[in-house]
Structure 1
Amino acid sequence: MKPRLDPSPALLAITVVLATIISFPVARCQDTSPYDICGQSVQCGDIDKIEYPFWLSGRPQHCGHPDFQLSCRSDVPMLRLGPGPVDYRVLKTDSSIHTVTVARNDLWETLCPQTLYNTTYNTTLFNGNNLGQEDVSLYYGCQGILGVSPLAASFRFSCNVNQTQSDSYFYRTSFIDTDTTISSFLVQCNSHITVPVDQSWANRILTATDSELKQALQDGFNLRWTAYNEECDQCVRSGGRCGSNLTSPYQFVCYCASGNFSATCNNVPVESGGGGSKSSSIGIVLGIVGGVIAVAVVGVVLFVCRRRKRRGIKAASPTQTETKAILAAAGSSQALTSDTSNFTSSIPSYPSSKTSETSKELVKSTYFGAQVFTYEELEVATDNFNDSKQLGDGGFGAVYYGKLLDGREVAVKRLYENNFKRVEQFVNEVRILTKLDHENLVKLFGCTSKRSRELLLVYEYIPNGTIADHLHGKLANSSSSLFSWSIRLNVAIQTADALAYLHKSGIIHRDVKSNNILLDKSFQVKVADFGLSRLFENVTHVSTAPQGTPGYVDPEYYQCYQLTDKSDVYSFGVVLMELISSLPAVDTSRHRLDINLANMAVTKIQNQTLSELVDKTIGFETNGLVRRKTTLVAELAFRCLQHNKDMRPTMKEVVDTLKGIQNDDLNAQKPEVLDIVVDDGGMFKGHNTEPTSPDQ
């Protein structure tokens, strides 16, 4: 056998140098092509120059920011600002001050859109503060309101809502709450939306007509975008063009004639004016020479190391004792935790799920104290996310049943999109859940890295569905005999106790609803889904665009965009009415005035017809104790559903009241009540006689 000849260092270095020089023109062409493409002019309608962060057909996504996609429809550039279904016309952009002027497309031709949506936008990407504008409110379905309208006829316009012609009104939002007569009148309308207009129009709204209002809406309002503004400004001043690295996670890129950079062209400081053609050429030459020298040196070092390794291969072999030490270190790593800086660490795997062969792979890490799983082991646990294992499907992702190799049953939430907003919600939920410890809050076992192929959250598996399932969902018929009033009251107490704990911890849940309240086999509560939750430590409220689930969202939150702990109280009031009635929070098959359960419940209570709302299976008509406790819970729900947040109780007060009702502590103060009546002061009082017949 002929001895194998090792290549000499010189030959290895020459080979590497030639390969580098040959491949450079191709790499050069690939690196600079985005610079050329992103410099091409793209026009849509009156917008003749579409620039970063916007992109659309003809201008590739890497020339903009992933969350700023435009669509050009009938020569009108359209932009989706947030999670809602409303499209906004782009009227003007100004890259120098990072502002865009938009107008609602559904209100462009008419004041009466087919579906009513509030004006919302993603507050992490857009900011409308301090841009010289103010909200105008449009109230719909005001037909049949008792009393003469305190608003002049000029504020009225007519709309066909649900095939019924009715009066509608518009008014300056900031003036409504200052006039109790007007606010008391408008609050009786079926629904309303708010739309920003330019301050000059807002000042004229009090004397404007509906045609002038249309013009104000068509003139639009301004938003300032946030999309690496400072980095883009530096890139442009250095002669580059702003763009994106579309790999996950998203990164800003400065495309230049000489290549792609993370900040400015040729990494030349911005104040020097950027690099011209001469500096670009010098940079290219220096880059080639430096790269060739570096590669040659690396080649020589690798060659020397290889020969040394061959000589000492026996000495490098691990002994059996050393192998055991590595495995022991892996086992002890379960006790390790890390602070928030570890959230950017690489992806480890769960210790009990699989064992690695190298000490480097055996090192584990956590995110905020939550164990980090690999995508592959969760894929195995859920049988490749088999459809048959899907437990639910929400607004942010689907949830699958899984079983880890260590035998634990888990629920794996798979977020739909791996974009900036989803990463924010992902990080938010992990950060919040790992700092909480309450028996009625779902436990987070772990998650994948935010750099993983997909964003996955791993929770304890709760096997008995949600209270929505038992009240009006897939388990309603089979569990009606099991879901008694005493269980419902206990569910209400445990849910309220969990929310009170959150508020005490400085956290607003923000998406309290029956679909987010899980039940175990003993009907014990586990409140879940903290993707929308917000911290509000040491402040009275959090200012944010309204988000949440229709039917549960605090109406005052819609009006002033101020999220408080009382917003959760309102949502919990809706859940209480679901527990009493077994009806969903929103049902479009009901009468138009009863589509929203909260509105229907308040109306029934005020009209002394609570019995028409109560689920007949809980014994309201046959059991006096159930009747009394149900009535008292309805009274509490009524207080929670007040439009003015200051009139709502705190969650701590809600817990104490519910426990008092459960223990019948309020029996001395509240005799058996046959129906609820509201006195002139808006307070409840007992009424032991049947309501007067309309004929009497």
Structure 2
Amino acid sequence: MGPQVLVFLIRFLFLFLLLSWPAVVATSSTFPIAKPHCKDKCGNISVPYPFGFGDKDCYRDESFRVNCNSTFNPPKLSILDETVVQELSFQGQLRVFLGVITDCYTKSGQQTDTSFNDATFFGFNQMGNTFTFSNTENKFTALGCDTKAYIVDSNGKNFKSECGMTCNNKSDVINGSCTGIGCCQTSIPKGYDSYDLTLRSYKNHTLVYDYNPCSYAFLVDKNWYNFSISDLLDFTRNVDEYGFSQVPVVLDWAVDNKSCEVAKKDQATYGCGKNSYCVESKNSHGYICSCSHGYEGNPYLPDGCQDINECKDPKENTCGSINCINLPGSYNCSCPLGYHGDAKKDGTGCIPTTQNPNQVIQDTVGVGLGFLFLVISILLVLWALQKRKKNKLKQKFFRQNGGFLLKQQISSCEGLDEAAKIFTAEELRQASNNYAQSQILGRGGYGTVYKGVLPNHRTVAIKKSRKVDENQIEQFINEVVILSQINHRNVVKLLGCCLETEVPILVYEFVTNKTLFHHIHGEGCNSLISWDNRLRIATETSEALAYLHSAASPPIIHRDVKSANILLDDNYTAKVSDFGASRLVPLDRTQISTLVQGTLGYLDPEYLRSSQLTEKSDVYSFGVVLVELLTGKKALYSDGSGRQTNLAVHFVTSVEEGKVWEILDNQIVTEGCREKLQVVLELAERCLRLKGEERPTMKEVAMELQGLRRDQTQPWVALNPEEGERLLGELALPHHNTVEYNSLTDEALMSLDGGR
């Protein structure tokens, strides 16, 4: 490997390291001067921020608002009281046109023109004291050979300056000289934002009329005005639309009238952007901003100061473009192969090395490996910091979502470790293929459900919930603990949760055959579920709700019973799901005051009116599901005229009018026994009564449907009162050390040990 190749590798590694640094390299032609989407020119005058016109966001405040009048050609830029602006700069100065005051006479000594000749005011103090007349760039100037002129501070700051001149002959006046004969100039103090001009005559110009009929006084940019003898006869400059002469005056401006020390304490109003620094205004009012060394641009924009590429400007670097490497705010130079030293020193910086070639190669390899080690070390540190940040965020969410409370509950409940597993965020991310869109099973009011496969090949449903109210974390954890203990064949099993994310994630068993809503109303389904299956689904759903109301401890009100929350497996076995709106009922209460939640069409009218949630609210919602099974219609459906019809109201009205058989699904009428259908219709009507006290309990509903199914599958067995009482008693499990009862197999399945 030759030395040239090694040098190339070193430079490549060094450039790689530099490219990882978030520096922005720009040339002066690309520097923005105005905010995005704001105009930066009025005619041929540049308008840098904090100045601007148009939207309020384009200028810092009203004192920096300018007006661009496009009716003039070229357009006229003005500030405040139509003061015409000639030039704006973000270096803290601007040039405006201000008036010239005159005092003119006839040959006989009569005044002919007294334009602004008596205490004429010029000022910008109404702009918040951020604009002052530059004491270094302006001169107070008076013209005339019979003249006395005064400039006085209009705010009474004890400043007055005077020019008085007489000259008997025109030959006494020197062209280009403004030292007191025909032309007088004097300086103004620092920090003044307003002044008065006064102009008078000694002899009414009668002695000098032929070459000087008028006196003139004005403040002017010293670099603009050069006295000429002809000005004594007629001084007319930059005449405005009213016929008055104007001259350019330099103003110093500050972004705010605070000192740098005070301004930096309030970052919300601090005017300097990145890569800039604060400078006290040279005219004693406030501060201005300047780009840091190695940066150029508008320092008042958030990202206005941008890195310049010194390597492309021979005036900025001394090492030439070949060996120059640009850095943020600076640059670096490297000596050619065989040389060493300070490459930034012109001429004598790089000196020949006395080392032998082998030593050069060794040094080169060492430097290259050093850079490579540095790059790898930086990447490892960044990776470790990122991982640490993620772990801290996970711990924060775990604590915020009640993770420690859940662990405490698990450790205090015997046998709960397996029932309420706490999953990691990474486990569920991998199980759901990073929550891919293709894995979405459905969306609801309480979150999005994804299909996932755990490492043990078990298929699950992963529900990303909406954000949990931090004030109700304890209740949320209690619900997770209790729901995870439910082991009813007709309730979707909660397997565990993940609390390492901003919103909790719940993991349920996966049910394969979509929802009851899909099979009744879904596209292509056409309500093809048989009467036997419909009756069985209704029975299993009622058993699950009766279990939640009567056997769980504490009791659970589902609060969102609907066909979309009843899942079906391949055998059409019903599984009640989605407990996002469920509430736990204290053992000493029968109703709960709560904000109304649920789905329109299924909501209990009494609950909607009173906000008092009871078990009978679930009975009403189940009644709507029962009518869906009977009619094949949605809870809210279109009646053909474009209006929505409430199925529950329509059903009750049809019962009262004796027309209920007309709205039943034809398949039900064909397959079902009329006597049993009549019993189910009457049961549905009782579930949908407006007063909750007139509705049956879910145990009574379940018992009645069980009797119909038993009578249907074993028609030779009659459901006598004693049998009914026995079934009812079996559903009414005790609140502690309860067991789950499967009414179809007449078997006790599992002890819940005080859970549900």
- Which structure shows the higher strand fraction? 2
Superposition TM-score, scaled by structure 2 size: 0.38
State the structure with more CA Rg.
Answer: 2
- Which structure shows the higher helix fraction? 1
